[in-house]
Structure 1
């Protein structure tokens, strides 16, 4: 608990430290090492005071002097003359103005009024005609208008001069006109001052005669006075001061007192920020650990990375606004809203500070959480890839996997937005535009809608067929319509359906072969084992003769040997299939090896009434093989012939070099049993051509041969054509 309170204190210190940095960045340059008289506000006040002191107090122009400076150009005369149009246009305009009024007077028998209106009209026409005939006539009119503007300006200046002296009564000055020697005084410049400016002949005060605040007086729509023609400056020497007494007077120099109050306040803020920065540095590790402990229990751990970043940015923006509000409360609010109401000001500031600390806590806690979430490059990569924007990017990328679908989607969306927007616009505007939009919607929008609905219907059909396929109903193809991307998808689904059907067929076949394997192994192991058990029981009978005993022992020996061979073959084929056999390869002459291996079975072939026909090349054919394993391969193939070849038929054994440079070994014979099985299944373990399993053998001969071929990287195939049985082995020759 103490640890949490300590971390909370460190967090508050962090917020205050950041606020101190924020205020220092804003106004530090205004208050560090400066007084009020160095501030921008005061410099602006000086500029305003000196700029208006001349034209309002010490350098006020006389109306006659300004009037004498008026100059009227020929351009002004022409502009004044043609302001309301040509001579004819202006006369017609005057006549039109009086025509109706004169007619009304005539209708009312008001003779005097009629005469008066006609006289006014004729005088105006005469005046307008004089404007176009005499430049001097126009010049006098313009001059009179400008003199009126000057009189108005002088009157405004005299009125404003009183306000100026009242507003700046804390200024004292003694200024001498360098041309006339006249001195102007206000206040007592000898009093103790807080600010003083001296003007010398080298650095005089330049006082103008026209106030900037009243320059607009010289401008009117028809007439204007060029201020540059009237403006002049006069040099003054002397002193401008602000006395200490004036500063201390209540209600005077409010900016001065506000500056010093703000200066002391911000100094306090910055000093305390330095102190809190020390506590932040001391407690930073504890704060990080506390926030990490809180993080595991908070809902933000489940929020996506980019959403949390946006949340941090929003909170940070609100925190920045809160800091600005508190800063402005210190800098400005008191002066304008809480004068002489300190309690209200303190309560308002305390409330805003509370809000600042709450929002700041939320911001920095989220910021620390975000940092701990991506404090390594790997974490950052994981969070970015799991974000909403990344998912959206993947989705947008996936849209363009098939450009045709992307194009269709964009066209459909564009048509929808265009159609909807145009329809709304046409309803608002109406007229020909509405007819045009309705035409486009009819000939473009409606066909696009029909195509879209048709594609959606086709998509629903594909989704229905896909569901049927997922539920195992594979007897019907998905309908392929047209050449659209959906049609291509339907065709791919049909290929997938065929693949699934083939896979299911292979799986069923594998299950069948597995069941047959278990059955055959059980049968082939049980047969000799049953004989062994039977004859062992017979040997236990003491009444049997020696001849019977020897006969039983011979049978036991034969069955035991049969069982031994069966188990050894089973172990060998399993070992080969698992790849646990190492081959001892060497350069072997296949011609000689086959002749020797087949030669050992010539007598057995003769006894089985089989006619052996061997075709061997004259030159040796070499291959890198394990000689012992390859001998076993040839032996198994010949033994297979002895078991299953039809008596009185020929057996063909051939070795040759193919056009590809391989050695090809072939054994062909006529089978004594009908081979109704799939020829490839004969490679399976315990699989026999003799389905009734009356022949001797383990049923592993061809399986062992296939394993030997696979270990050597060779190829072995079986071809069955009626009763003709053919085995072909190909291996790379040297």
Structure 2
């Protein structure tokens, strides 16, 4: 197993060495390799401290007696000092409250009590003078400013160089003045700096002075002025007491002994040389690693194919892979920054690399590089397959989150209310935290909580209670308990949901009722089909057995054959009707439409039944227009529909009554009406008459199949027409409408 990882880790280590070497060489390598210690940033930082100390102690010190005379007090400062603790009455009342309990407790000790009374009266008198005499307040403010200034000057005078580096200087003000000199300038110095017009003057800057281009500026103490005894130095005071900028020319030098063994900076010089050697070795190692990467140890994608964890990695979502890649990339950048940062720290005098620490950092960097190479190689090979990237992107956590957010906003009202509620709770938490630090904010927070938070919480709790009731009602519906509606409260989205659930409950009830009716009709259908098929079949079997008798006369035999013929035709008709209804229900029946005359079809259908009309007898009253009524129909199917309706009237009409057949035009529709008086009492539920095998004679005395109206209804529907049945007592009426051509 380890053999598979060995070439990967060797390659990654070589890359880590090359990267770290390039980082160190390109960051501060040239600066360290090609510069001596006196030219380094570390030594220049020491010089900055030296120039600062020289400026504040020798070149431009603060004269306390002189600057005290420059202090002033403005009327605004007097007014601020006077009213800092409130008005005169408020301050006196505050003092009396502070001493009231203490004086009462010292009632038994006359001396202590008198001392407290005198102390209280003295403070009150001092407060009164503050409000009566501006000069009195001015003197107190000046006294405070002087104490503050004295403390500041004392702090600066107490500062000394941290390293204690000895220096030699010979500096003269550019604009004239006394020369400041220490030691003799000669050729035995390890560092020497000349301040001239060409190289730049040494500048000890005042607070209000602009930078002098090309000259070194000594730092000042403006930011270190602070408040003493409740009195602050104003900006006018700071500007007045700050020494003005001064430019110096001359020389500042550091003896060479400071850099040699036993000197103050010897250890730093030694470390600096070690860093330089390390940088050179790091550069050589980096170049060697790069040569190896391009010659001996070239990168191979086969190293990363079918590793033990490849399948597990491939199963991760693409956004999770992207997150891992981003973390590894940041880790690589952090590795580079760590190497560069430690180099900069060492170059500035900080801690150096320890061998265990360096090994750990390089090993960690190599692992990160190897994992990055694996991810890149896996992506290149995996996403070359068409559709792989699109599919993984669709299945990512990000897209699922987007889809979830979209689902939240399917009902925008609920989504917005939820967002406002969550944001309100967030603001409530933030407001409470800020209120803990500021009493006034806490008061405002309390007002908002009372008038906004509590009402919102009340509404939220009420909505949650309503939601719980809706969920309970939903569970009841799921369990089949459809007894009661959900109470609709208000006009919220939950109320709309309750309305929808009530509608759904009604739909389920109707569906259950319809299903029960369907089961009942199915049972009746099976019963009726069995009866209607069994009746002629039983007759056929019976008369067939009778024909087997050899002693039958010719008349009897002819009579039995006639019965068999009629029953066979009856059975044939019934089976054909069943087959036709089945085709119509399944939608497999084809129509052959053409332009036909409805008037002629009705007359032909009536003519087919003339003899039977005379036998019953029935009085048919026909009303058809004289002119043709063209329509685009399947003439054979439409004739079958007419035949079924007229045959239905012949079978179920009361003998001796009239049957009305009317064909007329109603708008763009042809309207056919067949009315008759029924011989049997009909159920008021006319919808059942459309059902298959449902017949007007409940006792099933007639020869009908019970499919006539069902077939007629299907034919009309196939032609885009409508068929309605109306029953008024014994009056039976069928109305058929179909579009005219």
TM-score (norm 1): 0.69
Say yes or no: does 1:186 pair with 2:187: yes
1:264 shift after superposition: 2.5
Change (3 A) 1:358 1:10: closer
- Secondary structure in 2 aligned to 1:163? coil
- Please state how far the C-alpha of 1:694 moved relative to its aligned partner: 1.6
Contact preservation (8 Å) 2:275, 2:346: no
Equivalent positions of 1:153-302 (< 5 A) are: 163-164=165-166, 185-187=186-188, 230-233=246-249, 252=269, 254-269=271-286, 271-273=288-290, 275-276=292-293, 282-290=299-307, 293-295=310-312, 301=316
* Per-residue Cα deviation, 1:228-263 (whole angstroms, up to 9, x for no partner): 664233599xxx999x999xx997464344134213
Between the two proteins, the alignment pairs up a number of residues equal to: 630
Go from structure 1 to structure 2 and tell me whether the alpha carbon gap of 1:267 and 1:538 turns closer, same or farther (over 3 Å shift). farther
Aligned-pair distance for 1:384? 4.3
SS state of the match for residue 720, structure 2?
coil
In structure 1, how many angstroms separate the alpha carbons of the residues matched to 2:366 and 2:268? 36
Q: 1:230 to 1:305 in 2, by over 3 A?
A: closer
Structure with higher helix content: 1
Of residues 345, 351, 371, the one that matches 2:360 is 351
SS in 1 for 2:664: strand
Specify the SS of the correspondent of 1:584. coil
Which of 702, 712, 717 lines up with 1:710 in the alignment? 717
Flag the 1:48–1:424 CA change in 2: closer, same or farther, 3 A: closer
Structure 1 residues 463-493: Cα deviation after superposition (integer angstroms, max 9, x where no partner) = 2222222211222222234444433333332
Q: Which residue of 2 aligns with 1:132?
A: none
Indicate the SS of the match to 2:682.
Answer: coil
Bigger mean CA offset, 536-545 vs 514-523: 536-545
Residue correspondence of structure 1 range 695-706 to structure 2 within 5 A: 695-706=702-713
Native 8 Å contact 2:691 2:710 kept in 1: yes
Match of 1:523 in 2: 531
Q: 1:491 to 1:288 in 2, by over 3 A?
A: same
| Alpha-carbon shift at residue 326 of structure 1 (Å) | 4.9
Would you say the 8 A contact 1:419–1:445 is kept in 2? no
Q: Give the aligned partner of residue 651 of structure 2.
A: 643
Report SS of the residue matched to 1:231: strand
SS at match of 2:659: strand
Mapped to 1, the partners of 2:73 and 2:429 lie a distance apart of 59
- Please tell me whether the aligned partners of residues 465 and 478 of structure 1 are also in contact (alpha carbons under 8 angstroms): yes
Structure 2 unpaired stretches of 5+: 82-134, 136-148, 170-183, 206-215, 226-232
Residue 665 of structure 2 aligns with which residue?
A: 657
What is aligned with 1:513? Answer: 521
Q: 1:174 maps to what in 2?
A: none
Q: Deviations over 1:359-411 (max 9, x none)?
A: 55666667877886996123212314654x336524642562447xx438735
Task: Please report how far the alpha carbon of residue 27 of structure 1 lies from its aligned counterpart in structure 2 after TM superposition.
Answer: 4.7
Deviation at 1:733, TM superposition (A): 0.7
1:479 to 478, 483, 487: 487
Q: Which residue of 2 aligns with 1:118?
A: none
| Distance 1:277-1:467 versus aligned 2 partners, 3 A rule | farther
Cα distance between partner residues in 2 of 1:325 and 1:639: 102
Quickly say closer, same or farther: Cα 1:690–1:413, change in 2 above 3 A.
farther
1:517 is displaced (CA, Å) by 1.6
2:405 aligned to which of 371, 375, 393: 393
| Equivalence map 1:412-491=2 (5 Å) | 414=424, 418=428, 425=435, 449-491=457-499
Partner of 2:589: 581
Check 1:433–1:685 CA distance in 2 against 1; reply closer, same or farther (3 A cut): closer
1:566 CA drift (Å): 1.3
Are the counterparts in 2 of residues 16 and 273 from structure 1 also a CA contact under 8 Å?
A: yes
Whether the 8 Å contact between 2:620 and 2:659 is mirrored in structure 1 is yes
Cα distance, 1:16 vs. partner? 5.3
Alignment partners' CA distance in 2, 1:38 and 1:366 = 45
Structure 2 CA distance for partners of 1:82 and 1:554, relative to 1, 3 Å: closer
Q: Give a deviation string over 1:53-79, Cα, whole Å, max 9, x none.
A: 9x99xxx9xx9x999xx9x99x99655
CA contact (8 A) 2:204 2:217 kept: no
Residue 6 to residue 160, structure 1, CA distance change in 2 (3 Å): closer
* Contact persistence 1:206–1:233 (CA under 8 A): yes
Q: Describe the shift of the 1:442–1:43 C-alpha distance in structure 2 as closer, same or farther (beyond 3 A).
A: closer
Question: In 2, Cα distance between the equivalents of 1:204 and 1:413?
Answer: 62
Distance apart, 1:663 and its partner CA = 0.7
Displacement of 1:719 after TM fit? 1.2
Question: Relative to structure 1, is the Cα distance of residues 26 and 699 closer, same or farther in structure 2, using a 3 angstrom cutoff?
Answer: farther
- Deviation sequence 1:246-289 (CA, Å, 0-9, x none): 9xx99746434413421321441354256447799742254154
**Cα distance in 1, alignment partners of residues 456 and 267 from structure 2:** 81
Residues 270 and 551 (structure 1), Cα distance of their counterparts in 2 relative to 1, 3 Å cut: farther
SS of the equivalent of 2:282 reads helix
5+ residue gaps in structure 1? Answer: 90-127, 129-144, 169-182, 190-195
Aligned residue in 2 for 1:123: none
Root mean square deviation, CA, Å: 5.7
Q: Deviations over 1:562-595 (max 9, x none)?
A: 1111111211121122222222211111112211
Question: Are the equivalent residues in 1 in contact too, given 2:724–2:734 (CA < 8 A)?
Answer: yes
8 Å CA contact retained: 1:685, 1:703: yes
**Residues in 2 aligned to 1:444 and 1:156: alpha-carbon distance in whole angstroms:** 59
SS of residue paired to 2:631: strand
Give the Å deviation of 1:318. 4.9
For residue 682 of structure 1, report the CA deviation from its aligned partner.
1.9
What residue number does 2:681 align with? 674
Correspondence for 1:383: 396
Preserved contact between residue 16 and residue 362 of structure 2 (Cα < 8 Å): no
> Would you say the 8 A contact 2:671–2:736 is kept in 1?
yes
* Pair 1:579–1:250, CA change in 2 (3 A): closer
Q: Residues 278 and 397 of structure 1: is their aligned pair in 2 closer, same or farther, counting only changes over 3 Å?
A: farther
Deviations 1:675-720 (A, max 9, x none): 1163122222222112222210222212221221122111111111
Tell me, in whole angstroms, the C-alpha distance in 2 between the residues paired with 1:694 and 1:332: 114
- The alpha-carbon deviation at position 640 of structure 1 amounts to 0.9
- Does 2:731 align with 1:724? yes
1:410 matched residue in structure 2: 420
Change (3 A) 1:266 1:227: farther
Alpha-carbon offset, residue 352 of structure 1:
2.9
Aligned ranges 1:27-46 → 2 under 5 Å: 27-28=25-26, 30-31=28-29, 35-37=33-35, 42=40
From the superposition, tell whether residues 212 and 615 of structure 1 become closer, same or farther in structure 2 (CA, over 3 Å): closer
Distance, in Å, in 2 between the alignment partners of 1:437 and 1:78 is: 48
TM-fit CA distance, 1:651: 0.6
**Retained in 1: the 8 A contact 2:24–2:340?**
no
Give yes or no for contact 1:292–1:369 (8 Å, CA) kept in 2.
no
> Shift in Å at residue 45 of structure 1?
5.3
Deviation, structure 1 residue 185: 3.8
- Contact 2:275/2:347, CA 8 A, preserved across alignment: no
- Cα distance in 1 between the residues matched to 2:472 and 2:203: 93
Q: CA deviation at 1:661?
A: 1.2
What's the CA shift for 1:605? Answer: 1.2
Q: 1:24-77, CA deviations, whole angstroms, 9 ceiling, x for partnerless residues? A: 357526447994239996378579879989x99xxx9xx9x999xx9x99x996
- CA distance in structure 2 between the partners assigned to 1:214 and 1:424 by the alignment: 39
